[in-house]
Amino acid sequence: MSGIRKQSQVRVPPEIVEAVVRVAQARGVPAAEVTLRDIAQEAGISRSTLLRRLDGNRRALDDALRAAGVEPGGRKPVKERAVEETGRLISEYGLGMVTFEKVAAVAECSVPSLYASFGGRDELLRAVFERYSPLLDVENYLAERHEDLEATVRGLYRLLADVLEREPRVLPALLAEVFARPGDVHVQALFQNLIPRLLAGLGQWLAGEVRAGRIRDLPPLLLTQQMTSPILLHFLMRPATSQIVEEGLPTKDEVVETYTQTFLRAVALPS
C-alpha cells in the first residue's frame, strides 16, 4: 500500500489554483472546463510540468480548488470534448493530425475512453463531420415548408455561407483533404455517406422542384453540385483570396445574392 499515492496527498501549488481561477473568470466558464493546456499557459509552465505537479491526475486539482473555496463544476462528457477538440485539430492542422493519442491529449481523456465512445477513428471523424458540416442544417431547413423557389435558394445559400465561416473551420479543412488526397482511405471513409446524405436531402428537394416544373430536369447529382460547388469554392478560398484582392472581397450578402441569381438563371423554368 505504501506505493499507492492517494489524491489527497498531492499538494497542488497555489499558483496553479490561482491560474485556473483567473482563466475561468476571464472566460466565464466553470473551472472544470479550463483545459490543462490553458492552465499551463496561464501559470507560465509547460503542460508536462503541470501534469507532474498534479501527479498525472486532474482530481488533485479539483480537490485543491474545493479546498480554496472554488467549486470546479461539471465537465462535458468525453464524447463531447473529443468531438470539439477534434474539430479544432482539423481546423488548425488538417485531418492528418487526428489520432486517438493526440485527441486524448487535447481532450484530456484516455485513449481507451475514446475507443469506448466511438469504436474507432472513422466513427470519431463521422461524428465531427456531422457536427460541423451543413448536412443537418440543410436537412432541418428543407424539412420546413417552402413555396417560393428564389427565397428557398437564397436561404440555402445563406445557411451554407454561415456554416462555412463558422469556427472551427472544419468543413473547409476537410474539403481541402478531399482535393489533396481523394484516394486516401480515411478521406473515402469520411465522405462515403456524404453523397447519399446530400441526395437524400438537397437532392430530393431539387427532384421535387423538377417534378413541380420549376427547374430543369437534370440528374440530381449534377443539380446538387451545380448548386453547392460555387459557394463551397468561394468560401474555401475566401481567407486566402482576401490577402491578395486589392479592392476587397464582396460581402457575404453580395455573394449569396449573386449565386442565388446565377443558379436560378441556369436552371429555373418560366412560371
pLDDT, tens only, 113-144: 889 889 998 889 889 988 888 888 888 888 88
Does residue 5 register a pLDDT over 50? no
Rounded to an integer, what distance in angstroms lies between the CA atom of residue 169 and that of residue 88? 8
- Cell numbers 485539430 label which residue? 89
Find how far residue 218's CA is from the centre of its chain.
33
Write out the three cell numbers for 152: 428557398
Residues 137 and 263 in one domain: yes
Residues 143 and 82 in one domain: no
Nearest Cα neighbor of 224 from 253, 195, 252 is 195
Rounded to an integer, what distance in angstroms lies between the CA atom of residue 201 and that of residue 127? 18
How sure is the predictor about 58, in pLDDT bands with cuts at 50, 70 and 90?
Answer: confident
Residue 128 covered by a domain: no
Of 57, 91, 119, the last residue of a domain is: 119
Amino acid code (one letter) for 175: L
Amino acid code (one letter) for 117: S
Mean pLDDT rounded to a whole number for the chain: 85
Q: What is the pTM of this model?
A: 0.66
How sure is the predictor about 9, in pLDDT bands with cuts at 50, 70 and 90?
Answer: low
Residue 126 covered by a domain: no
pLDDT for 164-222, tens place per residue? 888 888 877 877 777 788 787 777 777 776 767 777 888 889 999 999 999 999 988 89
Residues 140 and 259 in one domain: yes
Rounded to an integer, what distance in angstroms lies between the CA atom of residue 124 and that of residue 82? 8
Rounded to an integer, what distance in angstroms lies between the CA atom of residue 12 and that of residue 265? 67
Phi, psi of 161 (to 5 degrees): -65, -40
Residues 185 and 140 in one domain: yes
Find how far residue 150's CA is from the centre of its chain.
29
Q: Which of 37-46, 84-93, 161-170 has the lowest mean pLDDT?
A: 161-170
Residue 257: the pLDDT is 97
Rounded to an integer, what distance in angstroms lies between the CA atom of residue 37 and that of residue 23? 11
Residues 149 and 95 in one domain: no
Alpha-carbon distances of 219 from 86, 161, 197, 267, rounded to whole Å: 35, 24, 16, 12
Name the DSSP class of 199.
Answer: I
Query: 97 lies in which domain range?
Result: 78-119
Q: How many domains does the chain divide into?
A: 3
